[in-house]
């Protein structure tokens, strides 16, 4: 099994952290949409949904869907990532991109070559095979063209063409859904799309995974959606959790408020060591660090069926009430280590830095990422609707108070947008 980790782990070269590989500030307070603009937006683009496919390899790794780039449009499949900002897809000059669709700029009348090239060298932190200290290079060209998703077109968007990758996956690239200057999603909002999107990351065996731009698919859930305020002056989708518990039991360090970064491009969890140790201590004393691959933990695979432990995160809703989000015990193991198949890796990796919550939790909820109101919504999934949702979906944009109301095999799909954000803005 392998899974994505985040930038701060991914950028750990053998000698230390890459000091230059940092993103521009992504400040949530700057996202607030003026009321006058909100009225104008309601007369603009209508919500649209895109079906997603689950990339499953022993565990749910990534969800990807179709986009179009250029004029006339060329088709690609991408991971939709809430933790990044840009599009990266292979270009025709990538001779080693044998399994991916490749973008041909010369075939697009709206294509612009920005005449910028980047070479990024970094160390991976990918899952169990192995966790750290693999150096890779990724080469990219900066370009500009029209990007379309679900019939919603954003013209003149800067993005990157991959000219040399280090791995291959069943999808072509990544499209970041971050709301920053010149981004795909910001362009749609500027055209009048309501400033929110929703995700359902249906797990293996379920159907109906989708991204809805500009609205909410109410067929996916039948409970009230709980919204939590996104922390202001933060870079990403950070929400404060007041406590963490396992089967209702907690520890001192878990009762302190924690800033959790929700990231659809991360498949599991990455927490600071003290939080990781405290959670595992409440689950089983048999979960131990795997010294062969620092940062990971494991337990004998024979013990996994007996690990009956749910991880619960408590939040305060925008209405002031408390609510919990739960990771069920079925998520505790992501599968055997390649180097020791009798030892199963557990879902939390430990590393100093931000606490990141990925699809281990997100796939159990329908989520709405409300940029206009700076809040993140969660509703328990309506399993019967999600499993059989093939037509007749009810798409709505939010109203009144909420007027404008995601670790796979290939690390660059999470890494590159963070590293290269400054390149296109230079």
Q: Which residues carry out catalysis?
A: 81, 263
Residues 6+ apart with CB under 8 A from 418: 7, 21, 22, 23, 83, 84
Using alpha carbons, list the distances in angstroms from residue 109 to 140, 153, 191: 21, 15, 22
Burial readout 42-57 (b: 16 or more C-beta within 10 A, e: otherwise) = eeebebbbbbbebbeb
**Residue written as token pair 């009348």:** 109
**Tokens at residue 133, please?**
């200290």
Please classify residue 400 by burial: count the beta carbons closer than 10 Å to its beta carbon, then call 0-12 exposed, 13-18 middle and 19+ buried: exposed
Which residue from 234, 194, 238 is spatially nearest to 370, judged by alpha carbons? 194
**Tokens at residue 192, please?**
């009048």
What are 241's strand-pairing partners? Answer: 258
76, 67 Cβ separation under 8 angstroms: yes
Which residue from 221, 223, 232, 145 is spatially nearest to 184, judged by alpha carbons? 145
């Amino acid at each position: 099994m392998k899974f994505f980790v985040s930038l701060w782990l991914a950028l750990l070269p053998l000698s230390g952290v890459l000091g230059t590989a940092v993103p521009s500030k992504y400040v949530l307070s700057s996202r607030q949409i003026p009321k006058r603009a909100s009225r104008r937006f309601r007369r603009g683009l209508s919500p649209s949904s895109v079906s997603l496919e689950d990339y499953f390899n022993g565990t749910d790794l990534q969800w990807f869907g179709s986009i179009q780039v250029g004029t006339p449009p060329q088709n690609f499949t991408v991971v939709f990532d809430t933790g990044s900002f840009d599009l990266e897809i292979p270009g025709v000059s990538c001779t080693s991109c044998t399994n991916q669709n490749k973008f041909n700029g010369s075939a697009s009348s709206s294509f612009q070559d920005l005449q910028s090239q980047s070479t990024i060298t970094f160390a991976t932190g990918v899952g169990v095979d192995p966790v750290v200290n693999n150096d890779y290079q990724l080469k990219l060209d900066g370009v500009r063209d029209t990007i379309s998703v679900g019939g919603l077109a954003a013209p003149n968007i800067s993005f990157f063409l991959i000219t040399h990758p280090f791995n291959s996956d069943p999808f072509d690239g990544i499209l970041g859904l971050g709301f920053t200057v010149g981004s795909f999603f910001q362009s749609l909002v500027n055209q009048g799309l309501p400033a929110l999107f929703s995700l359902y990351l249906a797990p293996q065996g379920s159907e109906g995974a989708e991204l809805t731009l500009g609205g909410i698919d109410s067929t996916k859930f039948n409970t009230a959606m709980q919204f939590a305020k996104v922390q202001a002056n933060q870079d990403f989708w950070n929400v404060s959790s007041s406590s963490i518990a396992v089967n209702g039991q907690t520890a001192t360090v878990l009762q302190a408020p924690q800033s959790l970064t929700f990231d659809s491009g991360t498949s599991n969890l990455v927490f600071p060591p003290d939080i990781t140790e405290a959670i595992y201590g409440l689950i089983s004393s048999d979960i131990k660090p795997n010294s062969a691959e620092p940062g990971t933990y494991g337990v004998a695979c024979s013990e996994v069926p007996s690990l009956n432990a749910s991880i619960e995160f408590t939040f305060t809703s925008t209405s002031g009430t408390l609510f919990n989000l739960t990771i069920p015990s079925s998520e505790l193991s992501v599968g055997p280590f390649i180097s020791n198949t009798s030892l199963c890796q557990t879902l939390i990796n430990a590393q100093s830095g931000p606490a990141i919550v990925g699809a281990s939790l997100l796939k159990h909820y329908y989520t709405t990422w409300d940029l206009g109101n700076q809040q993140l919504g969660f509703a328990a999934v309506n399993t019967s609707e999600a499993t059989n949702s093939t037509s007749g979906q009810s798409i709505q944009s939010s109203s009144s108070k909420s007027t404008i109301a995601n670790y796979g095999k290939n690390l660059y799909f999470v890494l590159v947008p963070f590293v290269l954000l400054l390149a296109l803005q230079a």
